[in-house]
Amino acid sequence: MDHKIYSNVEIGEGTIIEDGCMIGIPPRGKKDGELKTVIGNDCIIRSGTYIYAGNVIGDHFQTGNKVNIRESNDIGDNVSIGTLSVIEHHVKIEDDVRIHTQVFVPEFCVLKKGCWLGPNVVLTNAPHPLCPKVKECLKGPTIFEGAIIGANATLLPSVMIGRKALVGAASLVTKDVAPLTVVAGNPAKYIKDVKDLKCHYPHLGIDKPYEDD
C-alpha cells in the first residue's frame, strides 16, 4: 500500500488506511517514535489524510480525504471528520462527534459527545492574535453535548455552546449560547427555544425535529 506509518504507532484490528496517508508524523521538536500514536478498531482513514504523532483515537473513527490532524489530540469512538478539515493540536473530541467538510478546529477546543459541526464551520482561539503573549491566552470554544453548529458559522475564542443548542448557518457567535436555544445572525442573537422549532416537511409526520430534554 502507498502510505507511510511512522514508529510507535498502534493500529487496531479491522482498520483500513488508504493510499497517500501518513500516520504518526513527528511534530516539530520531536523525534520519530517519541510520541505514541493510537488508532482504534474498525476505522477508515481515507486517502491523503495526515495524522501527527501523539493522537489517541477510538474505535469506528473515519476521515474524508485529505484531513489533517495535528499532534496530541484525544478523540473518542464513532467520530467522523470530513474531507479537507483541519484539527490542530491539544483538542478534545468526545464520542459520536460529526465534523463535516472543510471545518477548522484550532488548539484547545472541546467538542463534547454527539455535537455536530456543519460544512465550513470555523472555530477560533486567539482573542488578540498579534499580542506578544497570545500563546498564553489561547482558548477555543467548548461545544456541549448534542449541540449543532450550522454551515459556515464562525465561533469566537472561548465561547460556550450549550447542550443541544443550535447555531444558525453563517452566524458569528461572539458570546455564550444557552442550552436548548437557537441563535442566528451577525452577531448571533437568540431566536427561539429548540422546543419551538417546527419540521419543514410535515408530510413526514414529525412535528418537532428535536426533543426538549
The domain that holds 188 is classified in CATH as: 2.160.10.10
Nearest to 59 by CA among 90, 14, 91, 99: 14
Per residue in 136-191, pLDDT (tens digit) is 999 999 999 999 999 999 999 999 999 999 999 999 999 999 999 999 999 999 99
Q: Is 128 a catalytic residue?
A: yes
Tally of domains within the chain: 2
What average pLDDT does range 9-38 have in this prediction? 98
pLDDT band at 59 (very low <50, low <70, confident <90, very high): very high
Q: Distance between CA atoms of 169 and 32, rounded to whole angstroms?
A: 41
Position 85 in a domain: no
What pLDDT is attached to residue 206? 86
Is 46 found in the same domain as 102?
no
| Sheet with 56-57, edge to edge strand ranges | 9-11, 37-39, 56-57, 74-75, 92-93, 110-111, 142-143, 160-161
Is 96 found in the same domain as 69?
no
What average pLDDT does range 76-104 have in this prediction? 98
Least confident interval from 91-95, 114-118, 195-199:
195-199
pLDDT band at 1 (very low <50, low <70, confident <90, very high): low
- Could you say which of 3, 89, 90, 128 is catalytic? 128
